[in-house]
Structure 1
Amino acid sequence: MGGIQVLRLAYDTPVCIGHIDRESATFAYDPGYLAKTDSVPLSLSLPLRAEPYDAPSIRPYFEGLLAEGTARQALAAELGLAVEDYLGLLVACGKERIGDVLVLEAGDTRETDSAEAMGYAPVSPDELSAMFGSYSEAAEENAASRLSLAGTQNKVGLAHDPSASPSDGWLRPRGLAATTHILKTSYLRDIPEIEYLCMRAARTCGIAVPDTFLIAGQNPVLAVSRFDRVVQDRGTALQVRRVHQEDMSQAFGIQPGSKYAELVGGSVASVARLIKRFSTQPAQDLSQFARALLFNFAIGNCGAHLKNYSIELVRGANGRVRFRLAPMYDLVCTTRYPRFSRNLAMRIGGAQTIDDVDTEQLEAYARDLGVTTKAVRNWAEEIVGNVVSGIEAAGEGACGEVFESTPYVAEGLIEDMLPRLEVLRSFCSG
């Protein structure tokens, strides 16, 4: 059946990391890569070693690079592949995904050997609008560009000319060229606006988030700047550097389908321990993680699962693999929609549902983090003091162009938040 080569690509020169045997679905790091002094593993769950990893060990990382749910079904249908054939889907859409990893057929050097394969083609406003008519249209675009974007939402990857306005200057990558933005929409019309408001408000609460803006089309579209891409100033041509990333589900070796499952000993406590052990700046990263959970509670985001937190893997000064917590993403209120579960993706204290969180659970949350209650109160105070004004300002267009409906979406979002903000105020005053 042939093999699969796994490469890393920062700019335009791929480096072979290792190989997947299709028949056994095992992965082995390349000996040449292991010999490099600056080599970094694909994942914390797949440390560098000469021995191959078996199929169950590699599946969480590699399958975690693919889309999920309806988006994956549409992509598989477009490519004529079985939904469960995750290796086939990886190869078919192996040129561009989260991080800097490429997955190609072994021996396929048609694109990796040609510098001319790197480039961009302009996307017209009509083309851009048509991409988001349905899941099948987004899947068609991703299949044509061989892009694989993790998650369940309807999304595509494009590059954007930084000198152009948000509605113009969109570019389709050719060959191995990298995208700079993820564009997504939803079958629920308000979701792009809600996420835009939440992302903008998070920044006012001291939480690192990528830039976002709204685009009008057949359906409202949210454009999110990729934090795993760095645009380089190299003359007139767009030059983009890829940054190696993985999400927490991959880091813990958890299958995407189990991203909502509570980790043994508690997900919050487990992530906190991981941060303290491997982060290059554990205090700062723990603060960001803790703030993000409090912010998600405030806005009513019950879907902040393990795949919604990512890390950038780096080689530490002492040779150990370390990481930095990536900016937060997918911050969206789910409690506005009765069809969505009110169970928390990560329990706060012992609370399984968002409505069960009280001051006692928030005190337990501090213990799970391994920090003082005072520290959590300080972070909660910043959110209580800034989140409403941040949403209001974004809704009125202070952070960029919005739709006529956006101020009303902001009002509804704030109204939904009020009971949870009271819980946080009570906690802060205790």
Structure 2
Amino acid sequence: MTDKLDAYSLNVKFAENVIGELSLNKETGLPKLEYNHDWQQNGFAISPNLTLDNNHDNTVAYNFLDNALPEGKARLLLAERAGVSEKNVFSQIREIGGDLSGAVTFTTNGIEQNVNEADGPAFRLLTKDELESRLDTKEDIGLLTWDDKPRLSVAGVQDKLNVFINENDEIGFGDGTLCSTHILKFEKKHCLNLVLNEYFCMKLSAAVGLPTAEVEFIRFGKHPALIVHRFDRKYVSEKKQVYRRHVIDGCQALNLPRDFKYERNLGDNRDVQHIRDGVSLTKLFEFSRTMSSPAQSAQWLINWQLFNLIISNYDSHGKNVSLFWGKDNSSFTPAYDLVNIAMFPQFKHVLAMAMGDEFDPNDINAYQLADFAETCAIDKKLLARLLSNLTKKVLSTLTTESFIQTLIKTNDFSVEEQIYLCQLKDNIVSRAQHLDSQIAMISTIEV
């Protein structure tokens, strides 16, 4: 294979095995993913529409890769670093394909193999002082590049950093047999208490028994941050190796571009709000019936959506739900990115996905809940029972002092932060009480 040909192809790897090739069609600008024969015989499709027979349209590979890359400002910076347009996913995958979400990696095959790539474990320490200094200037220089190497590879619009945390709780970057095990999330400009808000909502989700990603609150100088334990990573210190578990998000599962993560993919303006081609609850529930345990998957999805309603997480879109995806099993991952959007007037207060036909969160009552049940083929009595269980657990947790007091003692929150937590609690309690008052009518309503 010539150097010129190598520049237009990457190895697709699962664990340490090359399972196929990703190439770029120079005429169309679209990537093409082809599995090798061994993987076709013994492996699995790494996304539902990237079928093992290699008989999939190139737009499927584009959508899969596009959803694996960062969004927002980080995406623009990544494209700028690569010297390509934002839509050129192949070149961006070349930059950060070694540490994407899930277990699949993309590596150069030959002529451009990075001579600095370590075969064994390699750890680059990040001190708190260095992180604090970088966060002081993140609005100007961003968080993408460290040591002239791009590090941010998690999809999403919030400021994030992929990091490896070792057995001594040291934070840094992992290379070779190491890769990121945690995600650091930081506050966006003009979004005071965003990290605190998410920390509270994530801890509440775990407290009421919902599968939830583990989080911790930390500060780097004046900058609050959320440490999120990655559920697609497991570090085995004895072997100095990080093992990866494959995951896909809702957009990848449904073969939709990242721009379709909202149900109203063209926006909420009057002339286009009727167009609803993006990720929807209807589509997610339909997909859940194809998963390994359809009943269990549907129940997870119901609880996820109901909890988002209780905490006013209006931004629960198609990229904020993910699945473990493998040869013999598919199941929803723990919940993540749980934020009470109602506490931020600067954000749009519109549901990412409709409850039935309703996008206004203030208009979710018994009728809309019943419409949601019928639209998604859910038994209304089951919906009422799950909502009752969830509201009672949330109200019980929040009306006792121990939950908030434990958070305060664990993190030494300031007086201002404690006041905010109480305001957040009151907001969620009010919403839970309203939804609880609607339960008795759900099963009686004919839509």
| Matched residue, 1:174 | 175
- Counterpart in 2 of 1:303? 315
Q: Output the CA distance in 2 between the equivalents of 1:231 and 1:389.
A: 36
Matched, 1:195 2:198: yes
The Cα shift of 1:205 comes to 2.5
2:48 corresponding residue in structure 1: 44
1:228 and 1:244 in contact (8 A); partners too: yes
Matches of 2:240 and 2:177, distance apart in 1: 13
1:359-402 deviation per Cα after TM superposition (whole angstroms, max 9, x unaligned) = 11111222233232222222212322232554665543349425
C-alpha separation in 2, matches of 1:240 and 1:422: 44
Shift of 1:150: 0.7
- The CA distance in 1 between the partners of 2:147 and 2:196, in whole Å, is 23
Asked if the contact 2:44–2:52 (Cα under 8 Å) also holds between the matched residues in 1, the reply is yes
Are 1:192 and 1:222, in contact at CA under 8 Å, matched by a contact in 2? yes
**Which of 398, 405, 411 pairs up with 1:401?**
411
Contact 1:141 1:156 (8 Å CA) reproduced: no
Partner residue of 2:218?
215
Residue 245 (structure 1) aligns with: 247
Mapping of residues 30-179 of structure 1, within 5 Å: 30-37=35-42, 39-51=43-55, 53-54=57-58, 56-107=59-110, 110=113, 116-133=119-136, 134=138, 136-141=141-146, 144-164=149-169, 169-175=170-176, 177-179=178-180
Of residues 270, 280, 283 in structure 2, which corresponds to 1:267?
280
Distance 1:393 1:128, change over 3 A: farther
Q: Go from structure 1 to structure 2 and tell me whether the alpha carbon gap of 1:266 and 1:226 turns closer, same or farther (over 3 Å shift).
A: closer
> What does 1:337-416 correspond to in 2, within 5 Å?
337-388=344-395, 390=397, 393-398=402-407, 400-404=410-414, 405-416=416-427
Structure with more contact order per residue of length (Cα contacts < 8 Å, sep ≥ 6) = 1
Indicate the SS of the match to 1:352.
Answer: coil
Instruction: Tell me the alpha carbon deviations over residues 53-91 of structure 1, each in whole angstroms, 9 at most, x when there is no partner.
Output: 32x232211111111112212333445443333221111
Partner of 1:225: 229
CA distance in 1, matches of 2:387, 2:422: 21
Q: 8 Å contact 1:396–1:406 — kept in the other structure?
A: no
| Structure 1: gaps of 5 or more residues | 317-321
1:219-263 deviation line (CA, Å, top 9, x unaligned) = 210010001112235x2x532111111101111111111211256
Cross-structure match for 1:312: 324
Q: Is the 8 A contact 1:199 1:331 kept in 2?
A: yes
Cα separation, partners in 2 of 1:238 and 1:176, compared to 1, 3 Å? closer
Partner of 1:293: 305
User: Take 1:142 and 1:375, find their aligned partners in 2: how far apart are those partners?
Assistant: 53
2:289 paired residue among 276, 299, 303: 276
Note closer, same or farther for the CA distance 1:261–1:202 as it changes in structure 2 (3 Å cut). same
Distance 1:87 1:421, change over 3 A: same
Query: Over alpha carbons, which structure has the higher Rg?
Result: 2
**Once the two structures are aligned, what percentage of the paired residues are identical?**
23
**One-letter amino acid of the structure 2 residue matched with residue 424 of structure 1:** L
Q: How many residue pairs are counted as aligned between the two chains?
A: 414
Q: Determine if contact 1:95/1:147 at 8 Å carries over to the other structure.
A: no
Letter in 1 for 2:263: A
Contact 2:31 2:90 in 1 (8 A): no
Q: TM-score, normalised by structure 2?
A: 0.85
Partner of 2:19: 16
Pair 1:359–1:92, CA change in 2 (3 A): same
1:109 deviates by 7.1
- Per the normalisation by structure 1, the TM-score is 0.88
Instruction: Find the aligned partners of 2:427 and 2:51 in 1 and give their Cα distance.
Output: 44
Q: Secondary structure at the match of 2:354?
A: strand
- Output the CA distance in 1 between the equivalents of 2:151 and 2:108: 13
What RMSD in Å do the two structures reach over aligned CA positions?
A: 2.6
- Kept in 2, the 8 Å contact 1:301–1:333? The answer is yes
Amino acid at match of 1:26: P
Assess if the C-alpha contact under 8 Å between 2:217 and 2:226 holds in 1: yes
Measured after TM superposition, the shift of residue 266 of structure 1 is 7.9
TM-aligned CA deviation for residue 264 of structure 1 = 5.4
Q: Single out whichever of 417-426 and 114-123 deviates more from structure 2.
A: 114-123
Query: How far does residue 7 in structure 1 lie from its aligned partner after superposition?
Result: 2.1
CA contact (8 A) 2:121 2:178 kept: yes
Structure 1 stretch 267-276 or stretch 378-387: which is displaced more?
378-387
Contact 2:121 2:241 in 1 (8 A): no
The answer as to whether partners of 1:359 and 1:423 remain within 8 angstroms in 2 is: no
Asked whether the 8 Å contact 2:313–2:339 carries over to 1, the reply is yes
SS of 2:55 mapped into structure 1: coil
